[in-house]
Amino acid sequence: MAQLFSLGLFAHMRAFIIFLLSCVSALAADTVRVVSTVTTNETGAILTTDTFTRGGQTNLIRVTKVQNGAVVFRSQQFCHDGQPAALFTFREGDQSFHVNPGTPYYVDLEFLPSKDIRCVMVRGRDFIDGFYPTNGVYYPCPDSDLEMKDYKR
């Protein structure tokens, strides 16, 4: 019986390792990387911080607080070279969007016909970075969507 359990556990671990390796190879195709940390506080809230980088530079920091199984707070800070450009927050059903005063970047929101946000763009004289939302959670767009071929200010 113990051998069957060990073999079953080994099969699950092997499948999990294969899944992780496939995720790593998928991420390796793009220059976007993410590092996540998860902590809990004394009230049992779960705090997750996801730091995304493109080409080694921080471009999105997302902090999510979950209490009793529900998201009660989310902060998504859009950056260029690690410098804050804009902030999108969600707290108890209310959302807000702020552009950091004095930022040297342009921050644009592009909308769909449904009035939902299609993407957030952060751009400067020689760069453009973009972020797509999925259910209010933003992710850096793929490198291929940021082609700079004909980009002129």
> pTM here?
0.74
Q: Which residues contact 39 (CB under 8 A, 6 or more apart)?
A: 46, 47
Taking the alpha carbons at both ends of the chain, their separation in whole angstroms is 68
Domain map (residue ranges) of the chain: 1-30, 31-146
DSSP 136-148: TEEEEPPGGGG--
The region that residue 2 occupies, defined by phi over 0 for left and psi between -120 and 50 for alpha, beta otherwise, is alpha
Asked if pLDDT for residue 22 goes beyond 90, the answer is: no
User: What are the pLDDT digits (tens) for 63-88?
Assistant: 999 999 999 999 999 998 878 999 99
Distance between CA atoms of residues 63 and 138, nearest Å: 11
User: What are the pLDDT digits (tens) for 92-134?
Assistant: 889 999 998 888 889 999 999 999 999 999 998 888 899 999 9
pLDDT band at 55 (very low <50, low <70, confident <90, very high): confident
